[in-house]
Chain A
Amino acid sequence: MRDCFYGYPRPDGQVGIRNYVLMLSGTLYANPTCERVVWMVQNTIPIVHPLGRCQIAPDLAQTFKTLVGPGRNPNAGAVIVVDHFKEQGCTADDIAQEVAQSGKPVEVVNIRHEGGALAALQKSARLAVEFNRKINAQPREKTPLSKLIYGFNCGTSDVTSGLAHNRCVGWVCDRIIEAGGRALGAETTEMIGGEELIKARAKTPEVARTLLGFIERMEKNILACGVDMRGSQPTGDNIAGGLSTIEEKSLGAMQKWGAKTIVGAVEYAEPIGQEAGLWLMDTPGHGGESITGIAAAGAQVMSFSTGGGHTINHPLMITMRLTGNRESWEKMQDTMEVDVSDMFEGTSLEEAGERLLDEVLDTCDGKMTKAEALREFNAFAINRCGPSV
């Protein structure tokens, strides 16, 4: 097995697998400026979203860390933060200051101070051109897998998920961890019903308690809405795909966890520790919100396994999609990278797992995903913990 990838070392010790200029929007009202720059200037990536205004303090704090996260993600070689509002604790300057601690170049463009949207666009585009010329002189360097955070997630699950593609992801997690790397999963909804497995796999009782606490909080929050989770989980797609209960969906989803020890558990969009092993984050089952949390923790690459096929990708955390459902592969081939449906015809887990691992490491070395080739950016979605006010 390959024990390295070729990446871009950053001043803070993280290593990117891409060297993008990130256009980071502070509030929804700066989105157009960021999007226009992305269509004008090569090698720029947008982080745009509908939040940043009139959020209660804990909710705004969660938005803040979820915006700082991609700024610090090593796939961004330079960052331009665009906004002009003065939300307490979440201004463009606050975001830029936090991102700048990573040592990478960061600039702020304040729409009002620049004299309006067109002047801000001109300044942002010019900065993006200058950043590109500056950071693209950096060559890729040979990097051990201990520098890799391998994100994984699943969506539009069906019964093939737990039997084929999720097992491949678990197999790849195990190999990356054996090589000294970290694997980061999430989706608290899909831990419901897997408590025994968590207790058996957690490195310490404290890690197990934290994860069981996430599950308890998730169930309580659902019941506090006065509704029953049945009707929303499993989803209509899951049921059509043959999954009958949340427990069945969870245990199939947990096949992605491979067989290694769970070394730590973190809150939404928080960075993870340095220890090699399996890490888990508290996120909802919502694909976009979940992978956005994982990207904020610094994962460079993500395997997203899907039964029904998917278009999902994170703008900055390079997302490759796989399925074990041949019909989904055929129907959704424009946005899927890996087919493991031959596992139902006798292909072994090792063979299919190797295929996925090769694709993951090739992607780290620079192989474009279909989302990158198509310039699709669809799954930056910040999880909320409070109402708009």
Chain B
Amino acid sequence: MKHTAMIIHPDDNVANLIGAADKDEPVECTVDGRRETREVILLENIPANHKFAAKNLKAGDPIIKYGMNIGRASCDIQQGQYVHVHNIESNRGRGDLQSSP
């Protein structure tokens, strides 16, 4: 069975995997609920329903999901890499940054 993922908004740079998938496996991404698909090859194993990069990202780049900012890349991230707390961080509710709604 082919793996699938959801890119919720056309501007999003991360995708949500449906189920789990392993390194080197291709994933077919639906964009904004449409069957207009984009294929991404996973560079790492991804746990069930977690995120991976749908584009190449530089450290400091905003992470976009639902068409909105959910944080920033804390290091460079390649398309197909696992995206989670180890390589992205929140911009909010922290003592070391000015909160900027």
Contacts and interface: CB of A to CB of B under 8 A. Distances in A.
Contact of A244 (B66, B71, B94): B71
Q: Is the interface of B mostly helix, strand, loop or mixed?
A: loop
A218 to B, nearest CB: 8
A228 interface: yes
B95 A223 contact: yes
A237 B86 CA distance: 16
Counting chain A residues whose Cβ lies within 8 A of the other chain, the interface size class is 20 to 34
B70 A247 contact: yes
A233 B70 contact: no
Contacts of A222: 93
A163 interface: yes
Interface in A181-225: 192-197, 212, 215, 219, 222-223
Nearest to A307: B49
A160 B47 CA distance: 13
A248 B65 contact: yes
Interface residues of B, number: 30
Interface string B63-82: 10110111100000000000
A215 B90 CA distance: 16
Contacts of A196: 68
A244 B93 contact: no
Nearest to B72: A245
A386 interface: no
A240 to B, nearest CB: 9
B22 to A, nearest CB: 16
Given A246-B92, A247-B92, A215 B101 contact: yes
Given A159-B51, A251-B70, 16 more contacts: A159-B50, A162-B8, A193-B91, A215-B101, A223-B95, A227-B95, A233-B93, A239-B85, A241-B49, A242-B49, A242-B51, A244-B83, A245-B63, A245-B85, A247-B92, A251-B68
5 contacts: A192-B92, A193-B70, A242-B49, A244-B51, A244-B85
Interface of B: 6, 8, 16, 18, 47-51, 63, 65-66, 68-71, 83-85, 88-96, 99, 101
